[in-house]
């Protein structure tokens, strides 16, 4: 299984491309974009969904892609196409798309400027072992963000979102590895996880098995317009 990762940095300068990118989206996406109160959020949403369509075009040829969400809110292609699975993430300044055939994948990206609430994360998402490990990291905030994006990516790959008991997902080491999973989610050793520090953002990729290759593409917003 090959995994494709597509990244696009987004800034206020890219507002000039938003109108052109909206033409690539469907009616439901355009309606949602129109309801964002802040330009930054609208811009990021539009670029993310244009990037997803661009990545799918590269994978399977251009077509009017449509999506449907399951009971957990995970989006899927409707109708299915070549057993392509995808994951989408966007945050201030960056959007990311992961694609694979025949294997669910998860991607998450978070801006480094975010200030995580350690107490809230510990009660919601961190295992006791992970909390104890924090004392060994000089950049405690960075480690918290790394753990959070990794768990988000795993939750997206599984497809249950925050319904997944995240405190039973135990991540250790540097680089991170999956040390334990909740009952019913397979052996920890079968799960593949990769986190990357991009200088301004943390990125995480997850899948139920290790890919044979990760093809990484960085695109500008202008690349998505044509």
The conformation of residue 13, written as its DSSP 8-state character, comes to: G
Going by the DSSP 8-state scheme, the letter that residue 93 receives in this structure is: T
Mean pLDDT over 186-195 rounds to 97
- The domain segmentation of the chain, as residue ranges, is 1-103+211-226, 112-195
Q: What is the pLDDT of residues 71-109, one digit of tens each?
A: 999 999 999 999 999 999 999 999 999 999 999 999 999
Q: Which residues, at least 6 apart from 80, have a Cβ–Cβ distance to it below 8 Å?
A: none
In the predicted structure, residue 161 carries a pLDDT above the cut 90: no
Section 46-50 average pLDDT: 98
Residue 180 to residues 150, 176, 183, 223: CA-CA distances in angstroms?
13, 12, 9, 40
pTM: 0.96
pLDDT reported for residue 68: 95
pLDDT exceeds cutoff 90 at 1: no
| Average pLDDT, integer, range 199-221 | 97
Which tokens hold the place of 52?
């997803």
Q: Is 17 helix (H, G, I), strand (E, B) or coil?
A: helix
pLDDT number for residue 187? 96
pLDDT class of 168 with cuts at 50, 70, 90: very high
What is the share, in percent, of the chain residues with pLDDT greater than 70? 100
For residue 50, pLDDT over 80 is answered with yes
* Residue with the two structure tokens 């090959």: 2
Average pLDDT, the chain: 96
* Confidence grade of residue 210 (pLDDT, cut at 50, 70, 90): very high
Confidence check: pLDDT of 226 > 80: no
Q: Burial level of 177, CB count in 10 A (0-12/13-18/19+)? A: middle
pLDDT at 139: 93
Residue 39 pLDDT grade (very low, low, confident, very high; cuts 50, 70, 90):
very high
- Topology at the third CATH level for domain 1-103+211-226: Ribosomal Protein L22; Chain A (3.90.470)
Cα–Cα dist 132/138, whole Å: 13
Rounded average pLDDT over 144-162: 94
- Which two tokens mark 153? 């990516």
The confidence score (pLDDT) of residue 114 equals 83
Amino acid 59: pLDDT: 95
């Amino acid at each position: 299984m090959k995994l494709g990762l597509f990244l696009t940095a987004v800034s206020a300068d890219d507002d000039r491309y938003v109108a052109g990118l909206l033409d690539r989206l469907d009616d439901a996406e355009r309606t949602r974009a129109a309801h964002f109160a802040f330009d930054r959020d609208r811009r990021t949403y539009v670029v993310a969904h244009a990037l997803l369509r661009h990545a799918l075009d590269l994978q399977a040829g251009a077509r009017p892609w449509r999506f449907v969400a399951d009971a957990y809110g995970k989006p899927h292609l409707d109708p299915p196409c070549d057993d392509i699975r995808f994951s989408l993430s966007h945050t201030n300044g960056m959007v990311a798309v992961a694609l694979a055939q025949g294997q669910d994948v998860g991607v998450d990206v978070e801006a480094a400027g975010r200030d995580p609430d350690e107490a809230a994360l510990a009660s919601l998402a961190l295992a006791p072992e992970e909390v104890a490990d924090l004392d060994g990291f000089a950049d405690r905030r960075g480690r918290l963000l790394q753990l959070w994006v990794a768990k988000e990516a795993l939750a997206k790959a599984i497809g249950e979102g925050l319904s997944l008991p995240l405190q039973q997902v135990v991540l250790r080491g540097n680089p991170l590895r999956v040390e334990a999973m909740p009952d019913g989610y397979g052996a920890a050793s079968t799960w593949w996880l990769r986190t990357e520090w991009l200088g301004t953002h943390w990125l995480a990729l997850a899948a139920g098995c290790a890919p044979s290759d990760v093809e990484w593409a960085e695109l500008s917003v202008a690349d998505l317009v044509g």
